[in-house]
Amino acid sequence: MKRISDCNEVSTPGKQYILTSNMSNRESLDESLIMDYDQVSENYNFVTKALSRLKRSSKNENMKTSYVITSTMNAEKSLTGIFEEYGNFPLPDWMTAAIIRDVSNALIQLHSNQIVHGAVTIDKVFKMKDDFSFCILTSRSHARKMNAHKLMESRAEDISQLGNVLFRCLTGYEFGSGNPAGSPFTISSDGIILAEKMMARKFSEPVQFIVNHPFIADNTKTSTARFLNLNSH
Using one digit for the tens of pLDDT, what is the confidence trace for 90-145? 899 999 999 999 999 999 999 988 889 999 999 999 999 877 899 999 988 888 88
Residues 181-230: tens digit of each pLDDT: 555 567 888 999 999 999 987 788 889 999 999 999 998 876 454 444 44
Query: Which of 41, 39, 203, 53 lies closest to 113 in space, CA to CA?
Result: 53
In this predicted structure, what is the pLDDT of residue 168? 94
Model confidence, pTM: 0.73
Confidence check: pLDDT of 8 > 60: no
Q: What is the dihedral of CA 51, 53, 59, 61, to 10 degrees?
A: -130
Q: How confident is the model at residue 63 (pLDDT cuts 50, 70, 90)?
A: low
- At residue 53, the pLDDT reads 79
Nearest to 165 by CA among 126, 220, 133: 126
Q: How would residue 19 be classed by pLDDT, with cut points 50, 70 and 90? A: very low
Q: Kind and range of the H or E element at 162?
A: helix 151-171
pLDDT over 90 percentage in the chain: 36
Domains of the chain with bracketed CATH: 42-219 (1.10.510.10)
Q: Please determine, for residue 151, whether its predicted confidence score (pLDDT) is greater than 90.
A: no
CA distance 138 to 142: 8
Of the ranges 28-32, 42-46, 132-136, which one carries the lowest mean pLDDT score? 28-32
Residues 6 or more apart in contact with residue 198 via CB below 8 angstroms: 159, 160, 162, 163, 166, 210
pLDDT averaged over the chain?
Answer: 77
